[in-house]
């Protein structure tokens, strides 16, 4: 009898611990979703799409090159992807608020603006 009662009380403890973990994990997922979004800029047809993007500080921006030749996303002194090969991508997480004009150094007419709030 004492052994079965011990087993049942340890099951309650395990269940409570599992419930607590669920709450902590759900809160973490929610926090990362709300505060650190991921944004995508597609490089296609020698254009950035969207050409103007606004993100929050701490968000991640991913440039994906869908053209069959390399591009860069370069805001001098702020960020520089260097050459992103065809089919590849590059990520940047801006920390400082500002309006950053950037270009592809290989195609100077290819321009974008990243606004960080």
Give the residues lining the site for Cu ion (CB under 5 A).
71, 104, 106-107, 110
Q: How far is CA 82 from the centre of its chain?
A: 19
Tell me how far, at minimum, the Cβ of 46 lies from Cu ion, in Å: 6
Minimum distance, C-beta of residue 75 to Cu ion, in the bound complex (Å): 14
21 vs 69, beta carbon nearer Cu ion = 69
Asked if 81 contacts 92 with a C-beta cutoff of 8 angstroms, the reply is: yes
Q: Which is nearer to Cu ion, 41 or 59 (CB)?
A: 41
In angstroms, what is the minimal distance from the CB of 13 to Cu ion?
59
- Cβ proximity to Cu ion: between 71 and 100 the closer is 71
- How many whole angstroms separate alpha carbon 77 and alpha carbon 19? 48
Q: Are 92 and 55 spatial neighbours (Cβ–Cβ below 8 Å)?
A: no
Contact 44, 66 (CB under 8 A): yes
State in angstroms the smallest separation of the CB of 115 from Cu ion: 21
Between 59 and 90, name the residue whose CB sits nearer to Cu ion: 90
Residue 32's Cβ-count burial label (10 Å; 0-12, 13-18, 19+) is: exposed
Query: 27 pairs with which residues across the strands?
Result: none
């Amino acid at each position: 009898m004492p052994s079965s009662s011990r087993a049942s009380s340890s099951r309650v403890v395990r269940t409570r611990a599992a419930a607590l973990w669920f709450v902590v994990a759900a809160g973490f997922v929610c926090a990362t979703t709300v505060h650190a979004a991921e944004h995508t800029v597609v490089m296609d047809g020698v254009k950035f799409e969207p050409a103007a993007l606004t993100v929050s500080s701490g968000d991640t921006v991913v440039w994906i090159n869908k053209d069959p030749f390399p591009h860069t996303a370069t805001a001098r002194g702020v960020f520089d992807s260097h050459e992103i090969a065809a089919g590849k991508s590059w990520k940047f997480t801006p920390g400082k608020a500002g309006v950053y004009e950037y270009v592809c150094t290989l195609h100077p007419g290819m321009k974008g603006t990243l606004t960080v709030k």
